[in-house]
Amino acid sequence: MTLLIVIIALGVAALVAVASAAAAYRVRRTADDRVADAVQRLASGMHDTIRELTDAVEHSEPAQPAERFAPELAATLDVDEVAERALEAAAAVPGVDAAMLQADGPGGPFVRSSVGLSPEEEARVALRAPEHDNLRAVGVALRYRIDDAAGESAVLRSGVVVPLRAEGATIGSLGAWTRSSGRELTEAAVDQLERLALRAGPALENARRYAEARALADLDALTGLHNRRYFHETLAREVARAARYRRRLALIVIDLDDFKAVNDRVGHLAGDGVLAEAAERLRSVMRSADVACRVGGDEFAVILPESGAEDAELLAGRIARAIAARPIAGAGTLRLSAGVAELGDGDRPDDLFERADSALYRAKELGKGRTIGA
């Protein structure tokens, strides 16, 4: 029954990934090629995980944490959840008092998490297993000066670091540590940690690829900003969060003035280049917490968490100045109109968007090149 539930969960996750790839195809073919490749690799990895999972469920001993947690590792495509479950399984191995997991992707580290370690200890034992096909584990013994360790009966004493592998490559390490001064981790414990790492490596790699596919599907291929679907999902999430914690939330909706005339003059291909440059200038003045999206042809929106209408108006002004700062090849100097709204009591996501959008249309009616508050 457990196996059936896990396989169903994996199937649902695969369908979500395929749906994300389909969304990317409707945005831009170049993005679709990347998403399709990521999803194909993800699906292949998931099939391998199902085969491993079947073997683990049929042949495992329930008392061993590595096998007991294997179905949970394979049942999620969230990187943090995979790491959390792997650490929970490692901490359940007899003799283990703390554990740490680190994993890398093509772009660098994508997860680093621990259980039972202080930040200082985490920095001290952030060890990596060296790359070697036949490496099983690295044993580590920590030695302290008598005066430094006096009174510290709970300091880390020893541990092992086992490699995390996926598709034949080492992608990270799982370290397990004991605070006992009287014993090191047993051979049986190392064996369980090794089997856990064999499950955790592919699960982490699958989760990383899924996150990569989702990120690509959430982007507008032309401008590199988030797309319309991501905008509405994020706006709904931020409205719910602001309402729950009584925080402020503001929204800017922006339209490039007379952009149709630019397209008519230089053609749609060159017009795409103008949009990409305008988006880059918009991005250059954004705060790290702001979420910029392309929601239409030449229409953009910016979600401002923890901000009010006055903050949104200031940012809209900075965006307008950045876009008009110098001519854009083929378009000359561009101006924009913007509408600003702040979340009110009882507002739904659509209410906030419609008020900002209505303010934008009023800015257009009043002569363009200005920002109007709802």
Give me the tens of pLDDT residue by residue for the chain, a chain 374 residues long: 544 444 444 454 444 444 444 444 344 444 445 555 555 555 555 545 545 544 544 444 445 665 666 666 666 788 999 999 999 999 999 999 999 999 998 888 999 999 999 999 999 899 998 888 889 999 999 888 765 555 556 889 999 999 999 998 999 999 999 998 878 899 999 999 999 999 999 999 999 998 888 878 889 989 999 999 999 999 999 999 999 999 999 999 999 999 999 988 888 888 899 999 999 999 999 988 999 999 999 999 999 999 999 999 999 999 999 999 999 887 899 999 999 999 999 999 999 999 999 999 999 999 999 999 98
Q: Would you say 165 and 198 are in contact if contact means Cβ atoms under 8 Å apart?
A: yes
Answer yes or no: do 326 and 246 share one domain: yes
Assessment of whether the complete model's pTM goes beyond 0.85 = no
pLDDT value at position 250? 97
Characterize the bridge pairing of strands 108-115 and 336-342. Answer: unpaired
DSSP 3-state of 294: strand
Answer yes or no: do 185 and 274 share one domain: no
Answer yes or no: do 254 and 172 share one domain: no
Answer yes or no: do 193 and 59 share one domain: yes
Answer yes or no: do 149 and 258 share one domain: no
Answer yes or no: do 29 and 163 share one domain: yes
349-373 burial by CB neighbour count: b if 16+ within 10 A, else e? beebbebbbebbeebeeeeebbbbb
Residue 236 lies in a domain: yes
CATH of the domain at 261: 3.30.70.270
How many structural domains compose the chain?
Answer: 2
Residue 223 lies in a domain: no
Answer yes or no: do 12 and 32 share one domain: yes
Burial class of 221 by CB neighbour count within 10 A (0 to 12, 13 to 18, 19+): middle
Total number of residues shown for the chain:
374
CA-CA distance, 228 to 241, in Å (whole number)? 20
Phi, psi torsion values for 61, nearest 5 degrees: -100, 120
Which residue, 135, 125, 139, is CA-closest to 164? 135
Answer yes or no: do 323 and 177 share one domain: no
Last residue in a domain, options 217, 236, 261: 217
Structural domain containing residue 176: 2-217
Answer yes or no: do 66 and 121 share one domain: yes
Burial class of 214 by CB neighbour count within 10 A (0 to 12, 13 to 18, 19+): buried
Answer yes or no: do 250 and 342 share one domain: yes
Instruction: Give the list of residues 6+ apart from residue 89 with CB closer than 8 angstroms, or none.
Output: 65, 66, 68, 69, 73, 196, 200
Q: Which residues participate in catalysis according to the annotation?
A: 298
pLDDT value at position 214? 82
DSSP 3-state of 10: helix
pLDDT value at position 133? 83
Answer yes or no: do 166 and 309 share one domain: no
Residue 222 lies in a domain: no
pLDDT value at position 54? 45
CA-CA distance, 252 to 51, in Å (whole number)? 49
Residue 233 lies in a domain: yes
Answer yes or no: do 177 and 275 share one domain: no
Residue 119 lies in a domain: yes
Give the CA-trace dihedral at 17, 22, 24, 26, to 10 degrees.
Answer: -170
